[in-house]
Amino acid sequence: MTSVANAPAATSTSPARGLICRACGAEYPLAAQHACYECFGPLEVAYDEAALARVTRAQIEAGPQNIWRYAALLPAGQDPATRVSLDPGLTPLISAPALAAAIGLTAPLWVKDDSQNPTHSFKDRVVSVALTAAKEMGFKRFSCASTGNLANSVAAHAARAGVPSIVFIPADLEPGKIIQTAVYGGELVAIEGSYDDVNRLCSELVETDEFEDTAFVNVNVRPFYAEGSKTLGYEVAEQLGWRIPAQVVIPMASGELLTKVDKAFSELVEIGLAEAPEGGWTVFGAQSEGCNPIAVALHADTDVITPVKPTGIAKSLNIGDPSAGPYAIEAVRRTGGWMDYANDDEIRDGIRLLAETTGVFAETAGGTTVAVLKKLVASGRLDPAKETVVYNTGEGLKTLDAVAGQVGPTHTIKPSLRGAREAGLLG
């Protein structure tokens, strides 16, 4: 442990009481530590339940129009002056009756459109919380290993805060995601390898003296990063009038987002802020066929994840060795849900179906989730008569190549009435 990592973590008003091992339950003080010294299990933030229980709907509703309205339920950022943030959140929850009809749902269907964040993916939520915690702990440089969207967000947050950044990505990312990271002016290191290779290198770098002052949002400050995902659960409940939906369908890379939406729902019920639906909520997970280790483990009725070498167009979800996989399986089993995966053609169809029925253009991750929603309805795993929320976590302009060969002008004409007539536009 470095001296920076031992610095006090949060202001006195944070409801976080420490870090707890998800595997063995060992507890640690709040610090930049992500693995248990006893069993090497992953750590997550534990809260002072009495502090959480004091939070009221009125307090949240009077807060800012972004994730910081939930600051009293987060481990960092209670003092606005310490925030490192593009102020993401409060993205639209869109009613999607045409999509529901197209896939055979009879109950209300909603799209939580998190492409409408400052860098156009849900990663702004986790980065704002992680980097705020990192700043509170005294780190001087921001970093991450990324499948694309995290890189965009870390580089942008660092630029806004005036803090240097160094971001690590696989060299074969979509050009849009590389440019959208590089434009913010930080250091950008492309690595000839997979995301899992990038992540392993970052785990080694973080132990070196040269990186002692560097916060890797998804390595040494990962427990804080992960908590930012809870806001995607809080928000949906608040936007439904403090009601938790019966079913949610969530894309999975590491599997963390899925576990934290479930955690958010549990917290809201425990502290009396939201009502659970009759019979409880059910969580569903979506992966791509090119990277489906969590879904395959669930289907094989095990929680031992066998890592894969990812392929396919859903690059933002391409984590072959997903750290939160077993916990995602636990949440899905406990709530009576299921996981499935979609191949590249189904993902493209999912992107187009969502666009054509709701006016929302998703990146490949959103196409994956819509495609899996469709499969879950067809297989009878998801109840078409129960209210459902499907999460779109990223923006279609980031992965234009996915559908570029499939859509284009329906007509190309001369600029004249004659041209219009010849194309059949005038009957």
Ligand X SMILES: *Cc1c(COP(=O)(O)O)cnc(C)c1O
Interface with Zn ion (CB under 5 A): 21, 23-24, 26, 36, 38-39, 41
For residue 28, which amino acid is it? Answer: Y
* Residues near ligand X (CB under 6 A), total: 17
Rule CB under 6 A: say whether 123 interacts with ligand X.
yes
Distance, in Å, from the CA atom of 10 to the CA atom of 355, rounded to the nearest integer, reads 42
User: Given the structure tokens 């704002």, which residue do they identify?
Assistant: 128
- Contact partner at residue 247 from Zn ion, ligand X, none, CB < 5 to 8 Å by partner kind: none
Residue 98, both tokens: 């045409």
Binding partner of residue 24 among Zn ion, ligand X, none, CB cut-off 5 to 8 Å per kind: Zn ion
309 to 338: interface string for ligand X, x by CB under 6 A: -------xx---------------------
Q: Is 340 helix (H, G, I), strand (E, B) or coil?
A: strand
Residue type, 390: V
CB of 121 to ligand X, least distance (A): 5
Site for ligand X in 78-117 (CB under 6 A): none
Binding-site partner at residue 39 among Zn ion, ligand X, none, CB < 5 to 8 Å by type: Zn ion
Measure CA 106 to chain center. 27
**Residue 123 site contact among Zn ion, ligand X, none (CB < 5 to 8 Å, cut-off depends on kind):** ligand X
Helix (H) or strand (E) holding 216: strand 214-216
In the bound state with Zn ion, the residue whose beta carbon lies nearer, of 24 and 98, is: 24
CB of 185 to ligand X, least distance (A): 22
**For residues 271 and 326, which CB has a smaller minimum distance to ligand X in the complex?**
326
Among 71, 355, 365, 376, binds ligand X (CB under 6 A): 365
DSSP letters spanning 165-178: EEEEEETTS-HHHH
Residue 149 or 231: which CB sits closer to ligand X?
149
Binding mask 24-53 for ligand X (x = CB under 6 A): ------------------------------
Judge whether 67 and 88 are in contact, CB under 8 Å.
yes
How far is the first Cα of the chain from the last one, in angstroms, to the nearest whole number?
A: 75
> Contact, 76 vs 89, CB < 8 A?
no
In single-letter form, the type of residue at position 294 comes to I
- In the range 138-167, which residues lie near ligand X by CB under 6 A? 149
* Residues from 248 through 277 that contact ligand X (CB under 6 A): 251-257
Report whether 167 contacts 151 (CB < 8 A).
yes
In Å, what is the CA distance from 418 to each residue of 171, 411, 412, 414, 425?
A: 49, 14, 13, 8, 10
Task: List residues near ligand X by CB under 6 A.
Answer: 121, 123, 149, 229, 251-257, 316-317, 363, 365, 393-394
